[in-house]
A and B are shown apart, each in its own frame.
Chain A
């Protein structure tokens, strides 16, 4: 029991690791604040283009989505960070992570939003167009608000996955939460910083999980 507390819940070590881990937490928050909106915006674009009438637009988008959904995000990130420099493209860690997340998450957000858009009857678009709204205005004012509402649980659920996935940024030495905790662990030869990091992830994500389950309940009712 003592050994367990000593190695995993060592308060003294947690305290000394706290500044490092909190800095990492800050970086994780920053990362989330960048990759979630960027991924969502990319997803919107994916959804709109894959619903386009022109095959010239639609088919490349289908290929793009298929490709990056099949590409493991960790492999993608390592490729961008460690592989692209061989092609003369040397991105800083943060930019590499942002690009990898954009390519990966835009596909998932895109598929969810597309399903949402398809759930709206075509009468809505026709009514909007019949009053002189352009296709884009009808999309943004009439279709998307309803579409997003219809797939809100899936969007939140995906966002949850994205937040958790930000920990892969540690492999390119971006000092986010996992990387910082791992650093503190290797200095202290003690697992407590990892537990601390896990606690912070939980603190961040638990409210989102609660919200999601309430939404799912409400929709099921």
Chain B
């Protein structure tokens, strides 16, 4: 039984205490697809993403990545997480390590690469995000855009099957956003499967295969960017897009 989707979320519910944040999400992403997830603040976008690598434990439903149901008992989640890269809004680089150290940590501790091999892999990953010349810099010596690119390299180095981005440019000064989007564009062109939560609608128009609109813990509608942006079906989607456009 092969699953045609790299990421296959079925009937996903997530509650914190008595608050239901995800109320039954079905969400599929095929290989090489770039799916944009948009929605108002608090609608559950981050929670959905975090359920996809089990940083949040789903209350019910299944999350299947690369054919493996992460919610099944006995799954080696640490092994699965190597195949699921994640990029955070606040970068979350390790401040006590250099850029290279940030990238090599998992290579050495998880993939058990030797020091030299890990350094080489890290340098190649940093090269891909245009940060090879800053390999020995510490995070506090880097701009936000540079830090985010190192964070992307940290995930990329593990050669994930899919990358999850949670508002990767929201914490950046406007003039630094482009450098990160450029890296994401490159990744897309090299065939990476990506799920992106972001308000960068122009980037969505240019790069996304599909846009998914979430509100109140449910997927309201999804479709190709042209259709979603120029002719959404539901009033809620229209209202949201109007608000974002004016912001």
Contact = CB atoms under 8 A, between A and B. Distances in A.
Contact of A130 (B55, B79, B96): B55
* Interface size class, chain B: 20 to 34
Interface in B58-112: 78-79, 81-82, 84-86, 88, 90, 92-96, 105-106, 109-110
Contact of B109 (A121, A123, A141): A141
A121 to B, nearest CB: 8
Interface residues of A, number: 18
Contacts of B78: 129, 132-134
B154 interface: yes
A10 B145 CA distance: 69
Contacts of B90: 123
A126 B92 contact: yes
A130 B94 contact: no
A120 to B, nearest CB: 10
A127 B94 contact: yes
B96 A131 contact: no
Nearest to A134: B78
Contacts of B95: 146
Interface string A125-158: 0111111111001000110011001000000000
A60 to B, nearest CB: 25
A-B pairs with lowest CB-CB distance, top 7: A127-B92, A131-B106, A123-B92, A130-B86, A132-B110, A132-B82, A132-B81
11 contacts: A126-B88, A129-B55, A129-B78, A130-B53, A130-B84, A130-B85, A133-B109, A134-B78, A145-B96, A146-B94, A149-B96
Interface of A: 121, 123-124, 126-134, 137, 141-142, 145-146, 149
Interface of B: 53, 55, 78-79, 81-82, 84-86, 88, 90, 92-96, 105-106, 109-110, 151, 154-155, 158
Given A123-B92, A129-B55, A130-B53, 4 more contacts: A121-B92, A130-B86, A131-B106, A133-B110
